[in-house]
Amino acid sequence: MVKVGATYLGDSRCQFVVWAPLLDQVAVKISSSPNQSHILQQDSDGYWQVMVENVQPGDHYLYLLNNEKERPDPASYLQPNGVHSASQIIDHQSFPWTDHRWLGVALDDMIIYELHVGTFTSEGTFAAIIPRLARLKELGITAIELMPVAQFPGNRNWGYDGVYPYAVQNSYGGPDGLKALVNACHDQEIAVILDVVYNHVGPEGNYLDDFAPYFTSKFRPEWGNAFNFDDSYCDGVRNYFLENALYWYESYHIDALRLDAIQGIYDLGIKHFLEDLVDVTYEFSQQQGRKIYLTAESDLNDVRTIRTRDAGGIGIDAQWCDDFHHSLHALVTGEQQAYYQDFGKPADLEKAFKEGFVYSGQYAPHRKRRHGSSSTEEPANKFIVFSQNHDQIGNRILGDRLTQILSFEALKLVAGTVLLSPYVPLLFMGEEYGDTAPFLYFISHSEPELIKLIQRSKAEEFRAKGFAEESYDPQDPETFHRSQLNWEMQQSGQHQILWQFYQRLIHLRRTNSTLNKLSKKGLSISSCESEQLLMIHRSSEDGQVFYIFNFSDCQVEFEASLPTNDWHKILDSSDERWSGLGAILPDTLAPFQPLKIQASSFALYQA
Amino acid sequence: MVKVGATYLGDSRCQFVVWAPLLDQVAVKISSSPNQSHILQQDSDGYWQVMVENVQPGDHYLYLLNNEKERPDPASYLQPNGVHSASQIIDHQSFPWTDHRWLGVALDDMIIYELHVGTFTSEGTFAAIIPRLARLKELGITAIELMPVAQFPGNRNWGYDGVYPYAVQNSYGGPDGLKALVNACHDQEIAVILDVVYNHVGPEGNYLDDFAPYFTSKFRPEWGNAFNFDDSYCDGVRNYFLENALYWYESYHIDALRLDAIQGIYDLGIKHFLEDLVDVTYEFSQQQGRKIYLTAESDLNDVRTIRTRDAGGIGIDAQWCDDFHHSLHALVTGEQQAYYQDFGKPADLEKAFKEGFVYSGQYAPHRKRRHGSSSTEEPANKFIVFSQNHDQIGNRILGDRLTQILSFEALKLVAGTVLLSPYVPLLFMGEEYGDTAPFLYFISHSEPELIKLIQRSKAEEFRAKGFAEESYDPQDPETFHRSQLNWEMQQSGQHQILWQFYQRLIHLRRTNSTLNKLSKKGLSISSCESEQLLMIHRSSEDGQVFYIFNFSDCQVEFEASLPTNDWHKILDSSDERWSGLGAILPDTLAPFQPLKIQASSFALYQA
């Protein structure tokens, strides 16, 4: 492995390393000596390097390629003036870390909070997040997951248009801003998961092709060009991304990665890039004595993604379980558009609850093919579940959250479904108090043609789905501002109650001796299609719990089939305390007792 | 699985089944009642079917799609008038098979003879092969491998431009011709391996797109479009090819398939198409009580291809070992162009001899990336080896065989290297007597633009490599005729001696109690880079052999390092009997004895 980028060595010396196997000459021009250029030497693997003296952190630099083109560094650590300008030299040794005793958070203990730096606060910076950590901690959050922070064009973007995988977004606060946030998180025992995009780069500011064969034309992916992970010169591309992962662990103390859409990482070679990434991450973890986790978004429902390396799998620690989301969403909203047509029955959610993947090989009507493999053998901590996330909100035509779609009762119900599941729960920022801000698709490109193209394509989508073409303009700063959270909401009314309800659920999940075990063992479940009731019984060495979810919007009579025991209710979402319709389930349960449960509510008993 | 095509049921009834999930109407028009069309009924999986009465084998038919287009059947069993015309109804029950007692040939016993039906004889038919089988049998051949016989445009083609995977080439003799050949082979205890192309179809006569989404644009393969093995509607495409394999086993009694270029079968889904094919083939074998083998050509050097299904592999029985060929070819010819630049050292051939794959993960200069995985753990019968094949000859600029490149001594040497290897040997037709006919690239398309395109591209290749642009014209019938074998050659001179030498080698391989074991165990090998000597010692429970290959073109002095024993020479390629330079190695070997071996020769001892 070869470390790429501009490594500041101290004493005004900097080592420049860049991969460009097909170029005839590479030189570096540095702002502190603008009339000079330093020629790099190429090794047999196509890496060029040079050590330059009289260089200071903060200096800007550009590579001069074949004496023709000036380009920022593909492994730039900071693009102080955006994607089209010079890179900046960063001293990664200088940050005053105070997390030396940090041991990380085990996957089983993670309550993940996904946040977008730009819209989480009105400032839109890493620094502005820090004062909010206490409140997240109070809620019970143990890990924040940052949407991508790699440098993207302009200062408004979800982050998936990043073009410098090593550069921390300048408008968010750059490298020092991110380090300060991670350090503050660790101080408060919160882990930091970083969303990284190894499947494509955005449409503006990508100069990788000027350096090396980073891309392949073998595949035609959904977004942009496919990275060359398996063809001629792939070793340099693989190194670039493997080193990128190590860079986040080492220079930023990142605790876990969330790998974006791994189905877009095309690799037909012997050892999939992700297997290399798992191995490299494992080695680093071993050296550090602290486990770094790899989590992934995947559209494949392929159990090999999460199966261990020893068992022949790729060995990703946990993957987002879209099937859980879709089952829950289709059930509570009744929506059947697009992929929701493959879901909607209580039995789907039951299978998601018990196994993880709902599609385990059967025909999926929306996909028009058989889909998935069985995940029954995989432990519960391999799945990350959610009722909302940036995509499931943001990809809706008007970016509306469940807050806009569901009753208050149903909002509590979905919270319970996620947080009482045996899986690793993830909340999307603002969900915990039912923020009403949409999460819209916002960009801030600088190329007029590209902006028009995106605007037209969005207008076309609005039209096709029967909405006004001018519903919103992705490039308009107002679109971004509308997506920012309304923190003041959580101080009052039902928002405040919802927040307290989430806090209570998280507290129960973390302290109840059965709920805090991420295990599918001892979980039995029964559903009733017509009545949309789900009854779940979980037992562990340390106790038993029983919960009933009513996904129908009317009261339901039922009889609980559960082992004779001393059952005490510990939570009822229809309680007046939670602004509910009023609890009608008894505080204790007797066998064969006829029971009634309020519409869109749930209750939790323990024995 | 759904059986597709026109199945003649007897009693003038025929069942038509065709997959066309997106069409509104499918009808079939049959030549015997030209004014009538029969409308098919669609099921929920997109298959259309109808049973029609008053139909006879030999009747022609076309499908009428959406009342607009008339098209041949994608699963046509015969295209009597070529790729653009009607399909013909075939009665697969009527052939008088006499191979009821046929048990097949075990992979370990296979001596494979690859042949191209069109150029093997001057008639170019299946029927003309039958009288030649006795001579192949006499040589020691136990399996013939037919280059693809699926219907291609015109009557001159290697076969890789086939567009009807189920139709047996009309000009070769159609279904009955192939059945008669297979039956005759089985009568003489010769197995039949069929080359099938599941990675693309040819550029002329492909109407698959009119029926269904057979292709995907997700991948950009080297040849044609990629078949849709993993996207929407892939179930129908997978069924089409799985049924195709079963069709060859069941209707033609084919003993094994040779899967063309499996790296071109793109499938990123959960279960690779080839895994399905292995499972389906295994099930069929179990039902028949006769093992059907799957062999494959692969450019991947991926050990998972040949690893068993139980061990997490794809489970292909054996794959072509190009690394063995390239090591041998580069060593004996000294050629270093194109992929030969990755080979040439005696150590490469040594590794190929011991392990199979030479590239097991190290950097390959020609590929400009690391390549391959280790095959040390895989048994010897997983590799098929050869010194020549249709590609290694035909893809040379002038299609010249080793006969044109090597001395007579070296021809015997390469024969020995292949036939004394622990792997499954394959000869290319004519190799056994050093036929001098080239194997050129010949086509017989009917579309003028396509013909011009191919002619221009070939002329460009000639020019680029420094040959006359008019070196040969692929469309010219003379190009095809020049590629036909000269059977009369084997009756005289060195050709006859070479034939006898091959016969002797095959006889030794099949009868010697060590050579007839396909095992890497007990094989030790030493090479000497400067002297280009390879000394191989193999021992089994039943004996020991020792052979010395001299790949240099001069006499070499050496000392044999071999276990003390009673070593008797049983073959010496430099013997005058084999038209050699004269044997100088002693008939018996003593330890530490200084020895000399003739240029480009080898000798075999047993103990």
Q: Is the pLDDT of residue B35 over 80?
A: yes
Find all residues with CB under 8 Å of B369, minimum gap 6, and list them.
A230, A231, A232, A233, A234, A235, B363
- A218 touching B (Cβ < 8 Å): yes
Average pLDDT over residues B86-111: 97
**In chain B, which residues have their Cβ closer than 8 Å to the Cβ of A231?**
369
Query: Which residues numbered 439-468 in A keep a CB inside 8 Å of some CB on B?
Result: none
Please identify which residue in the block is written with the tokens 């494959």: B296
Distance of CA A138 to the CA centre of its chain: 22
Residues of chain A short of pLDDT 70, as ranges, are: 529
Q: What is the model's pLDDT at position A537? A: 93
Contact A270 B234 (CB under 8 A): no
**In chain B, which residues have their Cβ closer than 8 Å to the Cβ of A230?**
369
Q: Considering only alpha carbons, which residue of chain B is nearest residue A265?
A: B268
Q: Are A584 and A565 in contact (CB under 8 A)?
A: no
- B500 touching A (Cβ < 8 Å): no
Q: What is the model's pLDDT at position B590? A: 81
Mind giving me the DSSP string for B210-250?
GTS--EESSB--SSSPEE-SSSTTHHHHHHHHHHHHHHHHH
Pick from B431, B397, B386: nearest CA to B411: B431
Helix (H) or strand (E) holding A409: helix A408-419
- B220 touching A (Cβ < 8 Å): yes
Where in the sequence numbering do the catalytic residues of A fall?
Answer: 260, 297
What pLDDT digit, counting tens, does each position of B390-437 carry? 999 999 999 999 999 999 999 999 999 999 999 999 999 999 999 999
C-alpha A50/C-alpha B8 separation (Å) is: 75
What pLDDT digit, counting tens, does each position of A100-135 carry? 999 999 999 999 999 999 999 999 999 999 999 999
Q: Please state, for a pLDDT cut of 90, what percent of chain B lies above it.
A: 92
Which among B232, B300, B312 has CB closest to A369? B232
Provide the pLDDT confidence category of residue B561 given band limits of 50, 70 and 90. Answer: confident
Q: Give catalytic status of residue B461 as yes or no.
A: no
Amino acid (1-letter code) at residue A393: I
Q: What is the model's pLDDT at position A565? A: 80
Q: What is the model's pLDDT at position B560? A: 83
Helix (H) or strand (E) holding A568: strand A567-572
Q: What is the model's pLDDT at position B107? A: 97
Which among A219, A232, A370 has CB closest to B369? A232
Q: Dihedral sign, CA of B430, B435, B438, B444? A: negative
Q: Considering only alpha carbons, which residue of chain A is nearest residue B366?
A: A232
Higher pLDDT, B526 or A316: A316
C-alpha B556/C-alpha A306 separation (Å) is: 57
- A363 touching B (Cβ < 8 Å): yes
Which among A220, A304, A371 has CB closest to B217? A220
Q: Which residues of B275-294 are buried (b: 16+ CB within 10 A; e: fewer)?
A: bbbbebbeeebeeeeebbbb
Q: Are B258 and B300 in contact (CB under 8 A)?
A: no
Contact B268 A266 (CB under 8 A): yes
A210 class by beta-carbon count within 10 Å (0-12 exposed, 13-18 middle, 19+ buried): middle
- Give the ipTM of the model, two decimals please: 0.91
**In chain A, which residues have their Cβ closer than 8 Å to the Cβ of B304?**
270
Contact A232 B312 (CB under 8 A): no
Q: What is chain A's percent helix, strand, coil content, to nearest 5? A: 30, 20, 50
**In chain A, which residues have their Cβ closer than 8 Å to the Cβ of B199?**
none
Average pLDDT over residues B164-184: 98
Q: What is the model's pLDDT at position B564? A: 77
What pLDDT digit, counting tens, does each position of A469-482 carry? 889 999 999 999 99
Which among B303, B369, B373 has CB closest to A231? B369
Q: What is the model's pLDDT at position A592? A: 77
Instruction: Count chain A–chain B contacts defined by CB atoms under 8 A.
Output: 63
Query: Which residues numbered 249-288 in B keep a CB inside 8 Å of some CB on A?
Result: 263, 266, 268-271
